[in-house]
Every structure is written in structure tokens, then in C-alpha cells.
Chains A and B, each alone.
Chain A
Amino acid sequence: MRATWLLLLALALGVALGQEADPREEAKKQKELLLKTAGILPTELVVAQGEELFNRKGPSGRTMAECDFGLGKGVLEGAAARLPRYFLDTGKVEDLDSRILTCMTRVQGFKPEQIRRSEVVAVAFYIASKSTGHKIQVRLLFPQERELYALGEKLFYARTGQRDVGCATCHVTYVGRRAGVLSYADVLGQDKSWTHWPAYRYSNDQTWTMQDRIRACYGNIGHPPPNLYSLPILALELFMAYNNNGAVVEEWPAFVR
């Protein structure tokens, strides 16, 4: 076991020092290594946990199979690849995380304060796993979707705060350049970053959805992060998802550095 960790550490260090190494190739190697040593991936464990929670009955006696994630009651195949979208029953644009929250409160009868974030993430991992191989298909049909898209675009290009930073400052202007270990991803273009989350992040042992990732981005640029499930997060998600329309989800949940 000790030797395994040492090996893992050495590999991680190799990534940190080997500037030319492609982070995606490194992630693939790490994944194989973990699979070989542990026999199961952390992503698979969380997906299994999510499936259990999905089939658990809430106070109302209903499971999450009674919920509509956009393609009809209980239909999960490809559903996550079409989120975020506007839902008529709530009158709101919702992403996977917020739709799970809606399901747990409105259908399953949980009180908002009973819902643990780790459970929402696990269910998100499970539902997202049913979209592997699907194309991102997000639309701007309802005025609420268009309004949030416009806000997301503005937030993406905004220069604010004590460091004058915003998402585009690095992820558009300095794509491929490096400040720290990894080079900046072309979030709106060829890197199709929207399809990289939800993911297990092995460098920090984190199970994250895009909501967590966006909050961490703000942390990195010295901004207070937006609240979970808030409109600025949904706006940025819709903006990124729409710009990645047509991209095929290689694997959800993903396994990233």
C-alpha cells in the first residue's frame, strides 16, 4: 500500500515537473494505475453511491425515479447532456445540481436543510454517467434561458475586483499559456471544458460538479465565490454549455488532474 502511494506521489510529481506533459495523458495514466491497484475507480464508487440515493425513498415515499430531469419522468439516458434548461414546473432555468435539489424537495419531500451537498453531488455523478457518449445539446428557447446566457457571457468577460480579473482574461486571451503548473484551457473552444465536469479530481481527491469548479475558479482569482445553486453560476454554465454544443461527452463523470 505504502509503495502504491509512493508511486502515485512520484507520478504526480512527474506531472508537476514535466512541463511538456499533456495533463489529459497524465490523467489517463493515473486512471489506469488506480484501476490496477485498487480494482475500482473513485468515480465508480460515487456513481454507485448516487444510484443508491436515487432509489432511496424520501419522506413522501417517492424515489427520484418520479422526477423529470428534462426528458420525462425517470428518463436519465442523455438527460444531463441537455442541461441547463428551463423547466415549466418550477419556472426556472436549472442545471443538474439544482434539478436534483428540486426533485428532493418538491417530489421526495425533503426539507432544504436536510439535503447534504455530498448527496447532491453523488446523484449528479450517477445521472451524468447516463450521458456518456451523448452530444451536448443546450438550447436558448425560453426568454429566461436567453437572459441567463447573456448574463453568463457578461460575467465571463467581466474585469473586476482588486486584480482586474475575469474568466476570459486567461481562458480566452492566454489559452495555452501557463501560470502555475497547467496551461489555460480553451474553455469555449477546442478543450470543450463543459464536458469535463462532473469529475473526480485525483490531484486533490475532490468530487466536483461544474458548480464547485466555477466556485474554485473565483477563489483562484481572489473573488469571493458565488453561492451554490445561484444565478451567476447557472448563467456561466449555460454560456459555457451552449458554446460547447455538439461536443461529445467522452466520459461522465470525468477523471481529471
Chain B
Amino acid sequence: MRKALLFFLLALLALALAQRYFTEEELKLIQTGGKAYAEVFVNQRPDQALCSIHRNRLPADLLPQFLEEQRALIKYPQDGKLMGDWRKGGAIFNNLQKANCFSCHYGSPVHLGGDVGPSLEKYGLKRGQSEAVQRYTYEVIYNAWAFFPCTVMYRFGALGALTPEEIAHVVAYLLDPESDFNTKPAVGSK
């Protein structure tokens, strides 16, 4: 009983310590932007608040817990396979409305890539298809913040833009030696 009370008090304390980025006053001003607009700010996640407060450079002492929390968000496909169908993955990778990977990463044989993120040209040929490479690729796409805290790359799995199965398809698109991504030249390559 006492244990439960202690736990409850600790939970309250944790809630109080969770840093907010916007004050109540500021959120009131934001409300004039309209309901849909304001909701995005009212519902800012604690990890997003942390990245906002520290302008994307988290202090070293916050990193271990932050990384651990991000890691805990990663889920895997039901069947345990981290490489799905590369054709389906290509449709996701190269779709502006879907994952839009090509806008930031170079290497797509369909669209000219950008240079916000690192080049992924011939990703699978350079890295092979070992379990470790599959896992790393899957996890970075699922939750990039578990590796690069506060990076610009969307947390595709963690925030629900892609399902675990869809991410496995993208992993296959990048890694499978038969995939167009590895057999066809990247748009813009010389």
C-alpha cells in the first residue's frame, strides 16, 4: 500500500518535471491560428519539447535516457522479417505523399535526390545484407532519434507514418541486390 502511494507520488513528480516548451499563455495566443493548427502545438510530445528547448543539441547528461526511450519505441514486423518486398518498398520510397525519402537522400533511380541526408547510392551493394545491416537500416527508418537525437529525419515507425511491414519493404528496396535501387543507376549519376 505504501509502495503504491510512493509510486504514485513519484509518477506525479515525473509529470511535473517533464519540461514543456510552450507556456499556457503562449498556447492561448496560438489558439487564434485555429483549432487544427493549435492542436499540433498543444499535443507537442515531451521528446519534441526537449529537442525544441535545446535547439536540437541535447546536453550530454540527457542523452542516455533519451536514447533509451527512443529505442523502446521501436517495434518489429509480426513475422520477424526485416526485409520485405523491394518493389513495394520502392513505391513507398519514391512517393512524395508517402515516405518521400528521395527528397532528402540521393540514390533513387526514379527521382533526383536531395542532399539534406547522406547519399544512399547503391546502399545494398556497399553494405551487404547481413542481419546487423538489416537491423540497423530498419531501426534508423523506424526511429532515427534512437541513433541521431533530434535529427530532421522523420521517425517513420515511431510516429506512425509507416507500419513495420512497410518499413521492411523499404529496407528490402535499399538492400536487396536485385532491387532497382541497386541495379539501376541513380538519377543524376555520371
In the complex, what's the smallest C-beta–C-beta distance from A1 to chain B, in angstroms? 31
For the complex, is A169 an interface residue (Cβ under 8 Å from B)?
yes
Select the stretch in B10-18, B79-87, B127-135, B154-162 that faces chain A: B154-162
- A173 & B152 in contact (Cβ 8 Å cutoff): yes
Number of interface residues of A (CB under 8 A): 37
Query: Given A151-B26, A173-B56, A233-B33, A159–B40 Cβ distance below 8 Å?
Result: no
- A230 & B34 in contact (Cβ 8 Å cutoff): yes
In the complex, what distance in Å separates the CA atom of A157 from the CA atom of B154? 16
In the complex, what distance in Å separates the CA atom of A179 from the CA atom of B32? 31
Most A CB within 10 A of own CB, among B39, B41, B103: B41
- B114 & A179 in contact (Cβ 8 Å cutoff): yes
- B29 & A158 in contact (Cβ 8 Å cutoff): no
- For B51, give its contact among A159, A170, A223 (CB under 8 Å): A159
- A160 & B40 in contact (Cβ 8 Å cutoff): yes
For the complex, is A185 an interface residue (Cβ under 8 Å from B)?
no
For the complex, is B30 an interface residue (Cβ under 8 Å from A)?
yes
A184 nearest CB neighbor, chain B only: B116
A232 nearest CB neighbor, chain B only: B33
- B22 & A162 in contact (Cβ 8 Å cutoff): no
In the complex, what's the smallest C-beta–C-beta distance from A247 to chain B, in angstroms? 24
The B134-171 residues at the A interface (CB cut-off 8 A) are: 145, 150, 152, 154-155, 159-161
In the complex, what distance in Å separates the CA atom of A202 from the CA atom of B76? 46
For the complex, is B48 an interface residue (Cβ under 8 Å from A)?
yes
Number of interface residues of B (CB under 8 A): 34
For the complex, is B37 an interface residue (Cβ under 8 Å from A)?
yes
- B37 & A164 in contact (Cβ 8 Å cutoff): no
Number of A-B contacts (CB under 8 A): 101
Most A CB within 10 A of own CB, among B21, B29, B150: B29
- A179 & B33 in contact (Cβ 8 Å cutoff): no
- A164 & B26 in contact (Cβ 8 Å cutoff): no
- For B115, give its contact among A161, A178, A225 (CB under 8 Å): A178
For the complex, is A73 an interface residue (Cβ under 8 Å from B)?
no
Q: Give 1 or 0 for each of A186-209: 1 = CB within 8 Å of chain B CB.
A: 000000000000000000000000
Chain A residues with CB below 8 A from B104, complex form:
179
Query: Given A162-B160, A178-B115, A232-B30, A224–B48 Cβ distance below 8 Å?
Result: no
For the complex, is A12 an interface residue (Cβ under 8 Å from B)?
no
For the complex, is B60 an interface residue (Cβ under 8 Å from A)?
no
- For A169, give its contact among B22, B37, B114, B152 (CB under 8 Å): B152
In the complex, what distance in Å separates the CA atom of A147 from the CA atom of B26? 9
In the complex, what's the smallest C-beta–C-beta distance from B123 to chain A, in angstroms? 18
- For A226, give its contact among B33, B112, B188 (CB under 8 Å): B33
For the complex, is A163 an interface residue (Cβ under 8 Å from B)?
yes
Chain B residues with CB below 8 A from A174, complex form:
116, 152
B25 nearest CB neighbor, chain A only: A147
Query: Given A160-B48, A173-B152, A231–B29 Cβ distance below 8 Å?
Result: yes
- B116 & A179 in contact (Cβ 8 Å cutoff): yes
The B98-128 residues at the A interface (CB cut-off 8 A) are: 103-104, 112, 114-116
For the complex, is A78 an interface residue (Cβ under 8 Å from B)?
no
- For B154, give its contact among A147, A163, A170, A224 (CB under 8 Å): A163
A150 nearest CB neighbor, chain B only: B26
11 pairs from A and B in contact (CB 8 Å cutoff): A150-B26, A158-B44, A224-B37, A224-B40, A226-B34, A226-B37, A227-B32, A230-B33, A230-B34, A230-B37, A231-B33
Binding site for A on B (CB under 8 A): 21-22, 26, 29-30, 32-34, 36-37, 39-41, 44, 48, 51-52, 55-56, 103-104, 112, 114-116, 145, 150, 152, 154-155, 159-161, 188
19 more contacts with CB within 8 A, not counting A177-B116, A232-B33, are A147-B29, A154-B21, A157-B52, A157-B55, A158-B48, A159-B150, A162-B159, A163-B159, A164-B159, A170-B116, A173-B56, A174-B116, A174-B152, A180-B114, A224-B34, A225-B37, A227-B33, A231-B30, A232-B29
